[in-house]
Chain A
Amino acid sequence: MAFMIAAYLIIWLAAFGFIFSMVRRQSGLQQEISALRELVQERDDPTR
C-alpha cells in the first residue's frame, strides 16, 4: 500500500508544484506591472 500512496503523492506533488510555480510567476508579473505603472505615471508627471 505504501508504494501506491507514494506514487500518487509524487504525481500530485508534481502537478501542484507546477500550479504553485504558475501562481508565483503570475504574482511576480503583477508586481512588475505595478512598478511599470508607477514609472509611467512618474514620467508623465515629474512633479509627483
Chain B
Amino acid sequence: MILVSAYLALAGAPDAVGLTEDNTYAQRIIYFHVPSAWLSMLAFGVTMVASIGYLATSKRSWDSFAMSSAELGLIFTFAAAASGAIWAKPAWNVWWTWDPRLTTYTIMFLLFVAYFMLRSAMEDPARRARFSSVYAIFAFLSVPITFMSIRWWRTIHPVLIDPNEGFGLGPGMMTAFFISLASFTVLYLVLVLHRYRLERLREQVDELKEALGY
C-alpha cells in the first residue's frame, strides 16, 4: 500500500495546473504531508480515548496504549511540520511563519512533549498513569482547535476540505490522496500495536525484576 501511494504521490497523480515548476513538484508533498498531519491528530485522539479508558478502569494496559499512541503522534507531528516547512518555502517564500495553523500545531506538539516530561517526572506507575491520563485529556483540546484554526481565523494555510467548495483536488489527485491517507492509517495501526506490545513487555520485565528483588 505504501509503495502504491509513494508511486502515485511522486509520479502517478496528475500535476497541478497553473503553478511554477518548483511549486508543481512541491504540491506533491501534500500526499504525505496531509496524511502525516491527520495521523498526528488521530494518534492524540486515540491517546485521549485510552486515557479515559484508564481513568474508568484503572487498567495499566490503557495507559500503555495511550503512551504508545502519543509517541507516534509526536513522530507524525514532526513529519508533518517538517514537510510543511519544505512545502512553504516555494509556496510562501518562507520556511516558517506564525500563521494560526502553524502556531496551534506547534502548541499541540509542545503540549504532548510536556506529556512525556510529566510521565518521566513520576516513578510510581499508578500515579504516573493517573496524572498523565488527566493531562492527556486536557492536552487533546489543542487538537480540534488546531484542526479548526484555518476555518476560524484568517490564515494563509490552504483549506483542503471546505464545506462550501468541497475538495480542492482533481479526480486523479483525489484517488492518490485517499490511497495515501489509507496507507498511512494502516502504517499507524501497525506501528502503534508494535509499540504497545513492546511497552507491555517492558512493564512485565519491570514487574519481574521487582518480584525478584533486583
Q: Is the CB of B29 within 8 A of A4?
A: yes
Asked if B32 and A7 sit within 8 Å, CB to CB, the answer is yes
CB-contacts of A3-29 with B (<8 A): 3-4, 6-8, 10-11, 14-15, 17-19, 22, 25-26, 29
Residues of chain B at interface, number, CB under 8 A: 35
Given the interface pairs A18-B72, A36-B205, A39-B212, the reply to whether A8 lies near B32 with Cβ below 8 Å is yes
Chain B residues proximal to chain A, CB less than 8 Å: 6, 9-10, 22, 25-26, 28-29, 32-33, 36, 71-72, 75-76, 78-79, 82-83, 86-87, 89-90, 187, 191, 194-195, 198, 201-202, 205, 208-209, 212, 214
Q: How extensive is the interface on chain A, given as a class? A: 20 to 34
Could you tell me the dominant secondary structure of chain B's interface residues? helix
Among candidates A7, A19, A43, residue contacting B191 with C-beta atoms closer than 8 Å:
A19
Residues of A contacting B75 in the complex (Cβ-Cβ under 8 angstroms): 14-15, 17-18
Q: Which residue of A lies closest to B82 (CB)?
A: A10
A37–B86 alpha-carbon span in the complex (Å): 49
A interface with B by C-beta (< 8 Å):
1, 3-4, 6-8, 10-11, 14-15, 17-19, 22, 25-26, 29, 32-33, 36, 39-40, 43
